């Protein structure tokens, strides 16, 4: 997922992840329904990994 998608939807990265997961499950693409707490935990994890990857990328750019 790209930051542009979250920005275009006026949502945080977390909110974008949750919205996309909810859409997937609502469309019958997933299995059993997932509760809000699980979606929030998953979104937090994904967002944390995205932020970490972006931080690492930025550090690599700053190296001589």
Per-residue pLDDT band for 1 (boundaries 50, 70, 90) equals very low
Per-residue pLDDT band for 62 (boundaries 50, 70, 90) equals confident
Nearest to 53 by CA among 63, 28, 45: 45
The predicted-structure confidence for 37-55, as pLDDT tens digits, reads as follows 888 888 888 888 888 888 8
The pLDDT score that the predictor gives to residue 26 is: 73
Domain that holds residue 27: 3-62
Tell me the C-alpha distance between 64 and 60, whole Å.
9
Indicate the number of domains in the chain. 1
The predicted-structure confidence for 19-32, as pLDDT tens digits, reads as follows 888 887 776 655 66
Write the CB contacts of 44 (distance below 8 Å, at least 6 apart in sequence).
Answer: 14
DSSP line for the chain: --HHHHHHTT--HHHHHHHHHHHHHHTT-SSS---HHHHHHHHHHHHHHHHHHHHHHHHHHH--
The pLDDT score that the predictor gives to residue 36 is: 82
């Amino acid at each position: 997922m790209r930051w542009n998608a979250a920005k275009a939807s006026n949502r945080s990265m977390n909110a974008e992840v949750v919205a996309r997961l909810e859409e997937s499950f609502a469309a019958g693409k997933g299995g059993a329904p997932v509760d809000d707490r699980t979606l929030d935990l998953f979104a937090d994890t994904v967002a944390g990994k995205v932020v970490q990857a972006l931080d690492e990328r930025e550090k690599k750019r700053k190296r001589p």
